[in-house]
Amino acid sequence: MLRYTLRRLALLVGIVFVISVGSFFLIHLLPGDPAVVILGFGASPAAKAQLYAFMGLDKPLIVQYFIWLGHVLHGNLGTSFISQVPVSTTIGAAWLIDLEMIVLSQILAFVTAIPLAMRSARKPDGAFDRILGAGSFTLLAIPSYIIIVFLVIVVSEHLGVPNTGPSSYVPFTTNPAVNLTSMLLPSITLAAGSFVVYYRVLRSDLVATLQEEFITMARSKGISQRRIMWRHAFRPSSVALLGATSVNIGGLLAGGFVVQYLLAIPGLGYELIVQGLEKSDYLLVQGIVFTVSVAIVVISFVFDFIINLVDPRINRE
Amino acid sequence: MNEHPFEPEYPVDSLTAGVAGGELSGESSIVMEATTLDGVVAKKRLGPLFWICVGWLALNVLGAIFANVLPLKNPYFEDYSVVNAGPGWHHVFGTDDLGRDIFSRVVYGARVSIAAGLGSMVIGFAVGMPLGMLAAYRRGRFDGVTTTVMYVLLAFPAIIATIGVLSFWTPRNLIKIIIVIGIASIPLVYRVVRAATLAVASKDYVLAAKVQGATDRRILMKELLPNIAPVAVSFLVIGIATVITLEGALAFLGLSVNAPTPSWGNMINESRTDLAQNPWLALFPALAMCLFLLCLNFIGDRLRSHYDVAEVKL
């Protein structure tokens, strides 16, 4: 276990290193002098000097990277030349919204996917299983940006449910009730994508587990169906579910970007697209891309660890 | 007797697959074995629904290729006398906020999606497939090094990386999008192809070919390639679907082809501003995209169960 964890940790450090190199070089993909592109024409010499000092632009590339890395390790991702706000401050204010969105959507997805998968797996190829199989397969072909557009058309435009449309976001601390209503459509959208995956993965694993001998054994002892499902079959079948959750996180964050963009919810995605890209605030984009990538990798690492606890057979490769 | 069209495996969400994927693939083979015992004996017929899907895809592809020649309205022509019109005789799908014909924009929009899907998969397969086959056939140090590198790349959050690169690599165009997504798909193709090749490389007929003195090239091309083709093809189909979804997301965020060029994602993005007045604007491109994706997923899924791809764990 310890060796396995250490090996994964080494891999994690390696990946974070690759991410940092990648994020650093993003700036150099810009056509022309980064300082001119970032600051715009007619920037003051003082601003230019500040940017040169921050990124070491007059030094060789390798040195630039280490200068940048040094700043990043101190939590300094640069200061936006458009809003004059440090990038880390913007990220600090925005990430909780993404977290709330993801947590709500995952609760929704698990609460629906687990019982439905259990019901399906009890009679594979039964009517219930087939209908849900076809339904989830169809849902698989509907991307999140289509789901959210139609939820907005139906729920906030036609049904007129208040506080669900664009720009209706209110921070949780200001008004929890309105905040949760405004999070309704985003969480349903993100949950829909996760639900399909979780349902299908858990169902197929449960079908397999239920044919194992220890289940037959439990059945012959007269243990109730409910108890067999929850106590005996669920844990061995939940490994792939956890794996799917871990794999899903990148997709969830990106899906969240789309939703935030449409509804003007000031999370990381909104900051990235509307404040960063549309205003050419490249330091903000770089900071968010770097932070989010590292977060995803770290979360996957934690999930791997949890999966190991649930099923210790895995690290024996 | 089993007509269950929906095999229990879900398509490996190719561009989001992360660290955990590798360890878990072992599980799915157990799953698949069990389900085959369950009575899913691969039928040798693909079924009418499969061919309907193939037909639909063919129709879309032909429409995209011959859009110029077909009697379609000009997708760029702005007719301010019929702005935001619903579906009708003159404009089958209605018109958008600039009076452009939605039907012809949907047909032209297929070009971007299909080109992005095919183009990036060509890159992914051109690099990932030979590497994966060689690694699995040669084993040893070459395999060790490539697999480790691919693992690191696989753990890289591809979607965020794609967004990041496309943010900076301006001006954006279709070629750049294809290159970025194509590179991101290399490790996924590699992983699938390597696993598939490993499963056949130890078979007796490969050994027989070796004993007869066949060259490595001949073994790779004549013995291994035909046997991993089914896996590769079903992964290709599902990969195209994933790329089209991703391109749509990029277009929705304004990171794909520029404004006047129609693409399904672009059109859904443009509909954003007047969802209330003109829901048709979002409906038709969304429908076109979902049907296309559904057919791709179905075909990929069907092929996989048809060729009993299960044992090589997709």
Mean model confidence pLDDT for chain A? 85
B103 pLDDT higher than 80: yes
B24·A239 Cβ contact <8 A: yes
Instruction: Spell out the alpha helix ranges (H) of chain A.
Output: 2-26, 34-39, 45-55, 61-73, 87-122, 127-139, 144-151, 176-182, 184-209, 213-220, 225-227, 234-263, 268-270, 282-310
**Nearest CA distance, A193 vs chain B (angstrom):** 11
Task: Identify the H or E element spanning B196.
Answer: helix B174-201
pTM: 0.83
B70 pLDDT higher than 80: no
Residue of A nearest to B30 (CA): A208
CATH number, domain of B96, equals 1.10.3720.10
Domain count, chain B: 1
Q: Which of A23, A137, A240 sits opposite B164 (nearest CB)?
A: A23
Local confidence band at B182 (pLDDT 50, 70, 90 cut-offs): very high
Q: Which two tokens stand for residue B274?
A: 């007047």
Residue of B nearest to A133 (CA): B6
Q: Which domain holds residue B282?
A: 92-313
For residues B219 and B202, give the distance between their C-alpha atoms in angstroms, rounded to a whole number: 12
CB of B128 within 8 A of CB of B190? Answer: yes
The answer to the question of residue B17 being in a domain is: no
The answer to the question of residue B303 being in a domain is: yes
Q: What amino acid is encoded at B161 in this protein? A: A
A278·B9 Cβ contact <8 A: no
Nearest to B241 by CA among B185, B203, B197: B185
Report pLDDT for B30.
41
Max CA-CA distance within chain B? 76
Average pLDDT of the segment spanning B117-146:
92
The answer to the question of residue B43 being in a domain is: no
With beta carbons under 8 A apart, name residues in chain A contacting B5: 134, 137
Q: Is B173 helix (H, G, I), strand (E, B) or coil?
A: coil
- Tell whether A262 lies on the interface with B, counting CB pairs under 8 A: yes
Q: Is A79 helix (H, G, I), strand (E, B) or coil?
A: strand
Report pLDDT for B314.
39
**Nearest CA distance, B24 vs chain A (angstrom):** 6
DSSP state of A32: S
Q: Which of B5, B159, B294 sits opposite A254 (nearest CB)?
A: B159
Q: What is the pLDDT of residues B5-59, one digit of tens each?
A: 333 333 334 333 333 333 333 334 444 444 444 444 445 677 888 999 999 999 9
Report pLDDT for A5.
82
The answer to the question of residue B82 being in a domain is: no
Q: Which of A22, A138, A145 sits opposite B252 (nearest CB)?
A: A145
Measure the CA dihedral B233/B238/B241/B245, to 10°: -140
Cis geometry, peptide bond prior to residue B171 (ω within 30 degrees of 0) = yes
For residues A227 and A204, give the distance between their C-alpha atoms in angstroms, rounded to a whole number: 19
To probe the interface with B, which of A7, A120, A145 has the most B CB atoms within 10 Å? A145
**Nearest CA distance, A138 vs chain B (angstrom):** 6
Q: What is the pLDDT of residues B237-263, one digit of tens each?
A: 989 999 999 999 998 888 888 777 888
The answer to the question of residue B113 being in a domain is: yes
**Nearest CA distance, A168 vs chain B (angstrom):** 15
Percent of chain A with pLDDT over 70: 97
Q: How many contiguous H segments (helices) and E segments (strands) does chain B have?
A: 11, 0
Nearest to A195 by CA among A103, A116, A99, A257: A116
The larger pLDDT score, comparing residue B154 to residue B137, is at B137
B119 pLDDT higher than 90: yes
With beta carbons under 8 A apart, name residues in chain A contacting B152: 11, 14-15, 18
Q: pLDDT per position in chain A (317 positions), as tens?
A: 778 788 888 888 888 988 898 888 888 777 777 777 777 766 777 777 777 777 777 778 888 888 888 888 888 888 887 778 888 888 988 899 999 999 999 999 999 999 999 999 888 888 999 999 999 999 989 999 899 988 888 888 788 788 777 777 888 888 888 888 888 999 999 999 999 999 999 998 898 888 888 888 888 888 888 888 888 888 888 888 888 888 888 888 888 888 998 888 898 888 888 888 887 788 888 899 999 999 988 888 888 888 888 777 765 54
Q: What amino acid is encoded at B89 in this protein? A: W
Report pLDDT for A123.
86
The answer to the question of residue B12 being in a domain is: no
Mean model confidence pLDDT for chain B? 78
B4·A297 Cβ contact <8 A: no
Q: How far is CA B29 from CA A204, B9, B76, B240, in A?
A: 11, 10, 50, 24
**Helix B280-306 with A127-139: angle, nearest 10 deg:** 120
> Which are the contacts of B287, defined by CB distance < 8 A and separation ≥ 6?
none
Task: Identify the H or E element spanning B204.
Answer: helix B204-211
B253·A273 Cβ contact <8 A: yes
Residue of B nearest to A211 (CA): B34
The answer to the question of residue B257 being in a domain is: yes
What is the complex's ipTM, to 2 decimals? 0.85
Nearest to A88 by CA among A100, A97, A99, A80: A80
B74 pLDDT higher than 80: no
Q: Which two tokens stand for residue A96?
A: 């909780």
B252·A261 Cβ contact <8 A: yes
B1 pLDDT higher than 70: no
The answer to the question of residue B111 being in a domain is: yes
Quickly count: other Cβ atoms within 10 Å of residue B122's Cβ: 14
Q: Is A108 helix (H, G, I), strand (E, B) or coil?
A: helix
B248·A145 Cβ contact <8 A: yes
Q: Is B95 helix (H, G, I), strand (E, B) or coil?
A: strand
